[in-house]
Chain A
Amino acid sequence: MSTIILLLITGLGLGALYFLVASGLSLIYGLMGVLNFAHGSFLTLGAFAGWELSRRMGGESWGTLIASMLLGMVVGAAVAAATEFLLIRRLYNRHIEQVLVTVGLALATVALFEGIWGTDPIYVTAPPWLSQTTEILGARVPNDRFLMIGAAVLVLLGIVAFLRYTRFGLIIRAGVENRSMVTALGIDVRKAFTVVFAIGGAAAGLGGVLASHYFGYVSPQLGGSLLIFAFIVTVIGGLGSLAGAAIASVVVAVLQQFANYFWGGTGDLMVVLLLAVVLLVRPTGILGKKA
């Protein structure tokens, strides 16, 4: 029983990271039809920004951790908004060019990060509580998982509230459904594009800081490794669906944890098989809309 509890909660923690990356991917695709392969770079840069702050302020205090999370969000949002404004805006409805530009940006930024911070993992320090465990029904659960889960829940609630109660949120929800009709109501939908990129970048930047604590290090490849699973989560959840991304994040991460433990480290294989099954049975994903 304790093993099941441990796997469930660690799965939820990993799922929280996947959600922080996938939420932005899903919103960006839903509104703009852009598959953003550079999204992992926002995460990595957020992680490095958080680590830079942490090493200057002393990484063991909660104040530093919270400040690094906020900085990760700000850096992620700023870089994502700049990417949309400078590169993506000129390429709407030009999908091949979008892929080429975002893949190129992802490769270039990894090389840039390696040039600045080196290729080796840099280990992070955190408040001591995060490296301790808490016993739940006999399972000793690492405390950092609770931080991941709490942050992801707050981000989910924040994005839902933003989409539900603000005019930009209304524009984004309508734009996901029918972008040209939004413009036909006199709304400059490009502003919403920038806002969505910034929201996605902020979630990814926060995810970067949290991922560096989950894995214990930050490296230039951090974003790329999480991006693969975030894409899988986005497709399984349904492109454009925030709720779908949340559900799929949990399903994928928990499946991964259980398969790794019970079926000899086959977690990644099981996730890919799940993706194949979903694409065959329900090509639009769990909560995706039919074209």
Chain B
Amino acid sequence: MTESILTVAGLNANIEGQQVVEDVSFEMLPVGVTALLGRNGVGKTSTLRAIMGLIERSGEVTIAGERVDREPTHRIVQRGVGYVPEDREVFASLTVNENLRLAERDSAPNRQLIEELFPDLIARAGQLAGTLSGGQQQMVSLARALVNDNRVLLVDEPTKGLAPLIVMDVAKALERAAQTVPVLLVEQNLQVVRMLAEKAIVLEGGRVVYDGSAEELLGNEALTKELLGVA
């Protein structure tokens, strides 16, 4: 097996003095989708935000063998990390095209991939992102991460609050993206996890309690119920 693209060791994170991630360690698969799972409030989003340097953190974060945990967020991203935040966080007062232009770091951005995956966005290039539906905003958020050639994608609950039909569109887009870049996916929808993830990491109380095959976890109803509260 090749070296992990993203390694986290002893990661701790705080929000306003309260510890939200405690001594979390894991490695991402170098290809495909690694799912970061857990019940609500266990620290999944905080773990992604800590990796990105968006909240106060300590511990080691390594990308392609290089420590990045002392670097500011923009430098981490410039190393080839694409981030799709929870709740999309599109710039509502900018157009779809401006949201994409803002995200472009490469001299030759992957506009063709965006056109293939999200043709609806191209048709709405001049529309203000704040006037799009939730599903369309999620497409913008994903497109911003996919427009560059990244080494890893961190994707936080991309199907949250979306209609079932849109959920499948998002899942297919992620499946396509995962063919070229490894994805660390936080996701509550276990159907999507089953469809995409090979590896699963489960957090509880800010700590890792499971690190192994996604198929084995989700194939074991009792374990899934115990760790995730749902089957």
Chain A positions near chain B (C-beta within 8 angstroms): 167, 170-171, 173-174, 177-178, 180-189
A30 to B91, CA, bound (A): 14
CB <8 Å contact, A184 and B92: no
B149 at the interface (CB under 8 A from A): no
A185's nearest neighbour on chain B, judged by CB, is: B103
Chosen A-B contacts, 9 in total, with CB atoms closer than 8 Å, are A167-B101, A170-B101, A174-B102, A181-B89, A184-B77, A184-B85, A185-B144, A186-B78, A189-B74
CB contacts (< 8 Å) of B78 on chain A: these are: 186
B98 at the interface (CB under 8 A from A): yes
B190 at the interface (CB under 8 A from A): no
CB contacts (< 8 Å) of B91 on chain A: these are: 173-174, 177-178, 181
CB <8 Å contact, A180 and B98: no
A167 to B89, CA, bound (A): 20
CB of A89 to closest CB in B, whole Å? 13
B31 at the interface (CB under 8 A from A): no
A185 to B73, CA, bound (A): 9
CB contact between A170 and one of B54, B72, B94 (< 8 Å): that residue: B94
CB contacts (< 8 Å) of B191 on chain A: these are: none
CB <8 Å contact, B102 and A187: yes
CB contacts (< 8 Å) of A182 on chain B: these are: 102
B104's nearest neighbour on chain A, judged by CB, is: A185
B105 at the interface (CB under 8 A from A): yes
CB <8 Å contact, B74 and A177: no
CB contacts (< 8 Å) of B98 on chain A: these are: 170, 174
CB of B131 to closest CB in A, whole Å? 14
CB <8 Å contact, A170 and B102: yes
CB of A260 to closest CB in B, whole Å? 37
**Cβ-closest 7 pairs across A and B:** A186-B77, A183-B73, A174-B91, A181-B89, A186-B78, A188-B74, A185-B103
CB <8 Å contact, A185 and B94: no
CB <8 Å contact, B92 and A177: yes
CB contacts (< 8 Å) of B102 on chain A: these are: 170-171, 174, 182, 185, 187
- Max chain B C-beta neighbours (<10 A), residue from A167, A181, A182, A184: A184
CB contacts (< 8 Å) of A184 on chain B: these are: 52, 54, 73, 77, 83, 85, 89
B78's nearest neighbour on chain A, judged by CB, is: A186
CB <8 Å contact, A183 and B72: yes
A171's nearest neighbour on chain B, judged by CB, is: B102
CB <8 Å contact, A185 and B77: yes
CB contacts (< 8 Å) of B101 on chain A: these are: 167, 170
A189 to B74, CA, bound (A): 8
CB contacts (< 8 Å) of A174 on chain B: these are: 91, 94, 98, 102
CB contacts (< 8 Å) of B93 on chain A: these are: 173, 177
A176's nearest neighbour on chain B, judged by CB, is: B93
- Max chain A C-beta neighbours (<10 A), residue from B52, B74, B89: B74
A270 to B30, CA, bound (A): 66
A182 to B54, CA, bound (A): 11
A178 to B102, CA, bound (A): 13
Q: Which residues between 17 and 51 of chain B lie within 8 Å of chain A, taking CB atoms?
A: none
Beyond the given A177-B91, A180-B54, could you list 17 further A-B residue pairs with CB under 8 A, ordered by the A residue number?
A167-B101, A170-B101, A173-B91, A173-B93, A174-B91, A177-B92, A181-B85, A181-B89, A183-B72, A184-B54, A184-B77, A184-B83, A185-B102, A185-B103, A185-B105, A186-B103, A188-B72
A193 to B83, CA, bound (A): 23
A92 to B70, CA, bound (A): 18
A171 to B99, CA, bound (A): 10
A184 to B145, CA, bound (A): 10
CB of A181 to closest CB in B, whole Å? 5
CB contacts (< 8 Å) of A189 on chain B: these are: 74
Q: Which residues between 124 and 161 of chain B lie within 8 Å of chain A, taking CB atoms?
A: 144, 148
A185 to B83, CA, bound (A): 7
B98's nearest neighbour on chain A, judged by CB, is: A170
CB <8 Å contact, A187 and B94: no
B54's nearest neighbour on chain A, judged by CB, is: A180
A181 to B156, CA, bound (A): 14
CB contacts (< 8 Å) of B89 on chain A: these are: 178, 181, 184
- Max chain A C-beta neighbours (<10 A), residue from B54, B92, B103, B105: B103
Q: Mark B183-218, 1 if CB is under 8 A from A, else 0.
A: 000000000000000000000000000000000000
CB <8 Å contact, B94 and A186: no
A182's nearest neighbour on chain B, judged by CB, is: B102
A182 to B93, CA, bound (A): 14
CB contacts (< 8 Å) of A181 on chain B: these are: 85, 89, 91
A172 to B105, CA, bound (A): 17
A171 to B74, CA, bound (A): 13
CB contacts (< 8 Å) of B92 on chain A: these are: 177
A174 to B72, CA, bound (A): 19
